[in-house]
Amino acid sequence: PLPPGEEGDLVARGAFTFRGYLQGRRFTDPWFDGGGWFHTGDRARLDEDGFVRITGRTKDLIIRGGQNIPVKEIEDLLLGHPAVRGVALVGYPDERLQERACACVVLEQGASFELEDLRAHLRGHGVTPQFWPERVDVMPAFPTTPSGKVQKFRLREAVQHAPGIERAQHEGGRTW
């Protein structure tokens, strides 16, 4: 177990943990380890009252140069920008850093939002440059499930295959 406040992968084991998917072992085995722990695919932290707080999905985790980018926190901050109606932060491959980050945004009617707007907004909230996304992709809407959940896997595919992936520079002239 991790100490309160520290984020990690949420795993479960016990009498009420399900035994597997109806489709068989090939769907079940990847989710269980040798100790019988079920890996939920969620990221979570224990709060000060002992409650588990889900912070995101394991697949939503972006690791750039060994640094974990706090996806949910960055998304929440960007949603506070007046031009942004929706945001989803996704990773795309990079040979040197493993991944880079792209902020996929849906804008309010008639609004504009550029990479410099993103940087200024995050800077104004005290976010260090190492957590800033390198790209902004403006989209008319996000792909969603029938229940309305954003399909980040489709956004990752779109971002990865988009022409002209930029390598933006952060403050101080460092290229990430």
Going by the DSSP 8-state scheme, the letter that residue 169 receives in this structure is: B
Residues 85 and 145 in one domain: yes
Whether residue 171 has pLDDT greater than 80: no
Answer whether residue 20 is part of any domain.
Answer: yes
- Average pLDDT over the chain reads 85
Q: Are 46 and 14 within one domain?
A: yes
Q: Give 163's pLDDT tier (boundaries 50, 70, 90).
A: low
In this structure, the answer to whether residues 34 and 83 fall within a common structural domain is: no
Q: What is the CATH number of the domain that holds 100?
A: 3.30.300.30
What DSSP string describes 72-108? HHHHHHHHTSTTEEEEEEEEEEETTTEEEEEEEEEEP
What was the pLDDT predicted at 41? 81
Q: Where are the alpha helices (DSSP H) in 1-41?
A: 25-28
CATH of the domain at 27: 2.30.38.10
Residues 90 and 43 in one domain: no
Instruction: Identify whether residues 155 and 136 lie together within a single domain.
Output: yes
Q: Which two tokens stand for residue 85?
A: 């109606």
Question: What domain count does the chain have?
Answer: 2
Whether residue 67 sits in one domain with residue 32 = no
Residue 138, SS3 per DSSP: strand
Q: pLDDT, tens digit, for every residue of 18-74?
A: 887 777 777 788 888 888 898 888 888 888 898 998 877 776 778 899 888 988 889
Residue 51 lies in a domain: yes
Residue 169, number of CB atoms within 10 A of its CB: 12
What pLDDT is recorded for position 170?
33
The pLDDT, as a whole number, for residue 176 is 29
Q: Please say if the pLDDT value at position 172 is more than 90.
A: no
Domain match, 127 and 80 both: yes
- The answer on 73 and 36 residing in a single domain is no
pLDDT single digits (tens) 92-140: 999 999 899 999 999 999 999 999 999 999 999 999 999 999 999 999 9
- The model's pTM is 0.67
Asked if residue 49 and residue 129 are part of one domain, the reply reads no
Domain housing 67:
61-163
> What are the tens digits of pLDDT across the range 70-91?
888 899 999 999 999 999 999 9
Q: Would residue 175 count as lying in a domain?
A: no
